[in-house]
Every structure is written in C-alpha cells, then in structure tokens.
Amino acid sequence: MALYAGIDCGTQGTKVVIVDGTSGTIVGQGSAPHEMISDSSGRREQLTEWWIEALLLAFRQAIDSASIDPAAIVALSVSGQQHGFVALDEQGEVLHAVKLWCDTSTKRENDVLLAGLGGIKGSLQKLGLMVAAGYTASKILWFKQQHPQLWARLKTVLLPHDYLNFWLTGERVAEFGDASGSGLFDIRQRCWDRDAVALIDDSGLLWNALPRLINAEESVGYLRPEVAALLGLQPNVRVASGGGDNMMAAIGTGNIRPGIVTMSLGTSGTLFAYADRPVVSHSEAIAGFCSSSNGWLPLICTMNVTSASTSVQRLLQQDVAGFNQALAATEPGAAGVMMLPFFNGERVPQLPAAKASLHNLDSDNFTGANLCRAVVESATYGLRYGLDLFQQQGISTSEIRLTGGGARSACWRQIVADVMNCPVVCLAEKETAALGAAIQAMWCDNLAAQPDLLASEELTRLCQRFVRLDEETRVMPDPQRQRQYADLYAGYLNLLQKEYPEVKL
C-alpha cells in the first residue's frame, strides 16, 4: 500500500493529510497553529522556524492518527500561503522574518512599482495582472531599502511553499502557479519578467536570486536524510513541486477543467476557475494566475463574507445555530433591508476605504432576522459581481463547488445557488488544499514511474478518483427565487454605484 502526504502551510496553521493511494481515502490528519507578528502599521510576519515546528507536530499527529507504517509514505507535496517573501543567504539561512500575503505595510513600495509598470493598464499589459500590495514584489523592494546590509547577502528569493521544499530537499526552485503571484512573473509567457525585476534592482543581484522554475508535475527532489529522520520517513520519499494554497485547493476540489468554479465562503471570499489559456482581463479585479495543473487559474477575492456575517452575529449575540435559524425564517430581499457589507473595505470592486452601511430601514423591517438575511445576501452579491467579471472574460460556470465556514449553512448554500443561478455542492473533504497537495504528490510519483502517461489525463483520473462531492449538500437554483434575486441583485448594483460612483458596472 502506497501512501501520500499533503501539507498545507497556511496563515493560521499547518495541516497534514495522509492519503491511501489505492482507495483514495484519507487515513490520517494532523494540525498545528502558527503565531503571527503584527502591529498597527499593517505588518504581518511569521518566522520560518514556526512553520517547521508546526509541520513536524502536524505530521506526527497525522501518522499517529492513521496507525500506519510511515515507511509506506512514498511521496509528499506542499501547499503554502501565497505571496510571502523568504530571503535566503548563500548558506540557506533566512535573513528576515517572512512578510505574509496579508502584510499591508509595503503599500508605498507597491505604488512605486505599479507606477513604474505604467499603472494598472501597464501592469496588465506587461505581467497579465495588476501587481498588488500583498504580492511579493513590494516586500522585496522594502527589504532592499530598509535592510541594505542584509540585501547584500541575498542569494535566493523564495515563496513560503518554496521555502518548505528547500527545507525538505535542499533544492531552491519555484513552480509556475505560486510564482505567478509574486508580481515578478509574466503569466502569459510563464517566466520571470526582467523589466519588473529591474524596477526593484537592475544590478543583477535580484535576477540571479530568483529560483529555477519547474512544471507542476515535476519532482523537486527527495527528502534530505536528516529531515527524513525527523519526520520518521524513508529518505527516498519524493517531494513534488507543490504550489500556492489556491492552486492546491483547485486540485483538491477537482477544478482542473473549464466550467467548474470553486467558491470559498470564508472570512473573505474567493472564487477561481480553470482556463486552458491565459486570462488577461481589462479589469484589475481578476488575478490571472497560472494554475499548478499546467493551465491558468483566474481568481477573484472579496474581503467581506463570514467576517461580515460574524459582525452581525456578535451584534445580535447569536451563536451559529441561532444565526442560521434567523436566516431561514426570512424571505429573499430581507423585507427591503439592503446592506453594503464593507466592514473591512473591499478589494473587488476596489474600494479599500469603503465602510459598511444599511439602507431602506423602517419600523417594520428593522429586525435581527432581516439583518442576518441582508448580510448574507450582500456578501453573496459581492461574489456574484466577481462571477459576472468571469463571464465577461468568457469563463463559463456549470457548477460551483463551495468551501469555507459559510458553506456549512444549508440556507446560505441555497442563496448562493439562487443568486448565481447555478448548481452548488460542497466537498466531502474540507481540507481541500492539503488534499490537493496529496493528489499532486501522487500525480508526480505516477508520472515519474510511468513516463509514457499523459500528464493531463493522469491528473484528471486522480481527481475523479479522489475528489469526492458531498451530494447531500447539493442544491439547485429555485426558478422563482432566481428571478427574485435577479431583480434584487440589480438593485444592489444600483445602490453600490450610487454610493460609490467610481465603480464601473
């Protein structure tokens, strides 16, 4: 029996799943939390040693929970939070705490880079996406300016999952999917972009520090003997390329062909699809990343989903069950109550300074239940706005696969189906990024053993076998409610543009 491990190093913690390569079942799981360094400047950092400690703990938990012989694990793969910046010197020592995707302290540096690229239009033309403050590029410029002595020692720039691959194998490489979120990468040509790099450093130091790029199905190498001993594994365990967490979640939800959209109802909202050609939009809202399945992964992120519903929940002093009960007791449209749910500003549409607001209140409709309905509907409208942007790019949607905490609400799932006018279903396995990493490890291992296999066909076969839908959660759009929501969504867009005329519909 061959076993495969998937490691997901996220912002809040590291999760590990161990998958039986014959049955496709998850036989072991583990998790461990991460700390974070933060302050009012927008600084959000972590130490790489925290990731290693969490990985070792989560891996041990997964093995112990599985009651397996660790020698049966033949390959593993790493999913990591995107956009972070890990700086290494020649000896492989980390030069500075890792700035994370959610670090906003380098906005000024990003503004400089964006201007150098020719603004939003120039960035889209040159890179295929708009370089954003959360991306790696502005963090590198900040590091150069703030720490010149450390900059002089810089030998390699890695993303978080690349660093874990380096710790596991000693190899300094990157793969196309995660690299495409760095702000230094041309998503159409699938290569590092010299002009973007030169905006930060034209001496050659940074260009030479960029790691070699490998394909999604390629092996990084094998475990270093000392790491194998720490994990309790054999040193001949293969380490697959891995990728960013969204790229691995795409594999873990079977989102590797056109028509499927993965939608996360988490603290923020994410939706992404598969494309077999680059998606370069006129709108900066779409991040046209490469996928980790040798295609492309157009992605949109909104900032207010369960973070918004939790704010209402706290106000009403409800638990999750109480919130869902109130939600189910209301009708579409919340008796006229409308909300713009921008408690955290908004990314799509780009309204970073926006504030949440309530509209159309009267003495009859101002109830707790209607507030619950209004916040869920408005958060869902925000994701519908993103889906509309996809459709404008010719990205079709035949099924939405839901993840995240909000997906556990049957009522919210139905609202998504009705607002999007599309079938909705959840996944049997909730840790989709870790599962995607395990599937990618199988893919890499199988292709290495049988070079005559077609890479795309083998990944399709593995996803069909190992990605399981929870059919009990499947909902179809109700024709009557769908028509209601078409009108309600139009009203939401009118309100949005009235309050924020800069939004282009």
Distance CA 240, CA 445 (A): 8
Residues acting as catalytic residues: 245
Q: Within a 10 A sphere around the Cβ of 387, how many other Cβ atoms?
A: 21
Query: Is 328 a residue whose pLDDT tops 80?
Result: yes
Query: Is 389 a residue whose pLDDT tops 80?
Result: yes
What is the three-state SS of 340-397?
ECCECEECCCCECCCCCEEECCCCCCCCHHHHHHHHHHHHHHHHHHHHHHHHHCCCCE
349 to each of 290, 489, 504, how far by Cα in Å?
22, 15, 9
Distance CA 336, CA 338 (A): 6
82 labelled ligand-binding: yes
359 labelled ligand-binding: no
Query: Is 1 a residue whose pLDDT tops 80?
Result: no
Per-residue pLDDT tens for 189-199?
Answer: 999 999 999 99
| 399 and 261 Cβ atoms separated by less than 8 Å | yes
305: three-class secondary structure by DSSP: coil
Strand 173-175 vs strand 212-214: parallel, antiparallel, or unpaired?
parallel
The CA R_g of the chain, rounded to the nearest whole Å, is 23
Identify any residues that bridge with 85 across adjacent strands, giving them in sequence order.
99
27 to each of 2, 24, 130, 435, 440, how far by Cα in Å?
12, 9, 41, 12, 17
Stretch 311-334: mean pLDDT? 96
Query: Is 267 a residue whose pLDDT tops 90?
Result: no
Per-residue pLDDT tens for 78-131?
Answer: 999 999 999 999 999 999 999 999 888 999 999 999 999 999 999 999 999 999
Q: What is the structure's pLDDT at 351?
A: 87
Helix (H) or strand (E) holding 77: strand 73-80
Task: Mark 227-241 as b/e (b = at least 16 C-beta within 10 Å).
Answer: bbeebebbeebbbbb
